[in-house]
Chain A
């Protein structure tokens, strides 16, 4: 875990949005409560807008019976693969700023992440 945190900090220093799909961490229950959680239900991201600190983890979980994706507008962070029911996707917030994203399968579904220092 220490190694991973260090890696994300470095990415933040480099002013690059470090949006790493942390599939290795997705199943790590011990870390789930540390970051922000966005639930996907009824074809919507809840909460639709969140504010996090740089370096904080953000995890989406799909509660729908329909696959959804998380895709950054302008490709500012790595996109998820299609998330089936109960599947999760985690990134770590990088450089401060406002990041818009959407579901590329159902583009009416949009969300915003505000990253603060």
Chain B
């Protein structure tokens, strides 16, 4: 595996150049397609350029993340409007995605009225099937009870809300890493969930494409800001034998990608507000950008991915 990091000053697996390259891909929508077991993605802008023609695929789905309904600070005083715009983009697609994945932080403060607003808005989406995992903002005061009651009824979730399902030969796994966090630590899956995961994938053939989605990145993006999951290595260990593993996360409100062996990690943009690049601000709090620039930094992840090709793999691991 090549090492694409040219300047790793912080020894954190991220270099500035790679990061900026990645940020240049900030767009307004991402369509995931699966053809012959290989996951690929196209931005909505690319699809529009191609005369509305979608890439030939066996399966397409869309990732949205970090809608933060209820947030009303300077970084974006109208997150409801920007979320609506994201939905409009999805509805404008000539062929709707088969389903959506929401990778957490539906709300800002876990308030019932915030969940209500989101639920009402998402109903306007042409694609009705949505699979959720919680963000820490969705489970603030009740350990995720309200979140689970609203979003996990059909998913037959286990424990604090993890589950899996199959679509068109692809195995999808939704994980929870925002509960029971420990002082000084990172995101956490916990032993019960890890045990379930090991069992869940046990009977699958190594050629089954795997898609894992969870809120906090399952790789150490920037542990100093809590951007990582303490026991993700163990989870990924159970997935090592699979030929194609794609990990989709939110939480950091910007696009980052890393390829490590057969595993590709992606983080999505928020539909609410951007956050600073790792280590570039005093804290990871909401980043204020000029009003005319805001929308260009929101949306749904914009990354192109083809297995074995890493032209857009902005961050890669050194296996040396």
A residues within 8 Å of B by Cβ? 42-44, 64-67, 69, 71, 73, 81-82, 84-85, 100-102, 104-108, 110
Distance A15 CA – B284 CA, assembled complex (angstroms): 39
> Closest CB of chain A to B284's CB: distance in Å?
7
A82 CB to nearest chain B CB (Å): 4
The distance in angstroms between the C-alpha atoms of A71 and B140, with both chains bound, is 12
Contacts of B224 in A (CB 8 A): 108
**How far in angstroms is the closest Cβ of chain A from B190?**
14
A84 to B136, CA, bound (A): 14
CB distance A43 to B185 under 8 Å?
no
Q: Which of B156-206 contact A (CB under 8 A)?
A: 181-186
Dominant secondary structure at the A interface? loop
Closest to B178 in A: A105
Report Cα–Cα, A64/B75, bound state, in Å.
12
A104 to B182, CA, bound (A): 7
Question: A109 CB to closest chain B CB, in angstroms?
Answer: 8
Given A105-B136, A110-B183, does the pair A65, B75 have CB atoms closer than 8 Å?
A: yes
Q: Take A107-B182, A107-B185, A108-B225 as given contacts and tell me if A84 and B285 are in contact as well, using a CB distance cutoff of 8 Å.
A: no
**Are B109 and A67 neighbours in the complex by a CB distance under 8 Å?**
yes
Is B286 among interface residues, defined by CB-CB distance under 8 A? yes
Return the contact of B184 from the options A64, A84, A108 (Cβ within 8 A). Answer: A108
Name which of B108, B137, B224, B283 has the most chain A CB atoms within 10 A of its CB. B283
Are A67 and B137 CB-contacts (below 8 A) given A43-B284, A82-B110, A108-B226? yes
B307 located at the interface, meaning its Cβ lies under 8 Å from any Cβ of chain A in the complex: no
Chain A residues lying within 8 Å of B74, measured Cβ to Cβ, are 65
Q: Which residues of B contact A85 (CB under 8 A)?
A: 73
A101 to chain B: which residues have CB within 8 Å? Answer: 183
What is the interface of chain B mostly: helix, strand, loop, or mixed? loop
Q: Are B109 and A64 in contact (CB under 8 A)?
A: no
Interface size class of B (residues with CB under 8 A): 20 to 34
CB atoms of B141 and A82 under 8 A apart: yes
Return B139 CB to nearest CB of chain A, in Å: 9
Asked if A42 and B181 make an inter-chain contact with CB atoms under 8 angstroms apart, the answer reads: no
Contacts A42-B282, A43-B283, A67-B109; A107 near B141 (Cβ below 8 A): no
Q: Complex: how many Å from CA A85 to CA B286?
A: 12
Closest A residue to B273 by CB, please name it.
A65
Add 6 more A-B contacts to A100-B183, A107-B182, A107-B226 (CB < 8 A): A65-B73, A66-B285, A82-B141, A102-B183, A105-B137, A107-B184
Known contacts A69-B140, A105-B136; A110/B184 CB under 8 A: yes
Q: How far is the CA of A114 from the CA of B141 in the complex (A)?
A: 27
With A43-B285, A82-B109: A67-B140 Cβ-Cβ less than 8 Å: yes
Residues 71-99 of chain B, each 1 if its beta carbon lies under 8 Å from chain A, else 0: 00111000000000000000000000000
- CB of A23, distance to nearest CB on chain B (Å): 14
Taken together as a complex, chains A and B put the C-alpha atoms of A104 and B224 apart, in Å, by 16
Cβ contacts under 8 Å, B184 to chain A: 102, 107-108, 110
Q: Is the CB of A64 within 8 A of B226?
A: no
Q: A60 to nearest B CB, angstroms? A: 16
A-B contact pairs, 7 of them (CB 8 A): A43-B225, A43-B283, A67-B109, A81-B141, A105-B181, A108-B185, A108-B186
Q: What is the bound-complex CA distance between A65 and B284, given in angstroms?
A: 11
Contact of A104 among B73, B181, B286 (CB under 8 A): B181
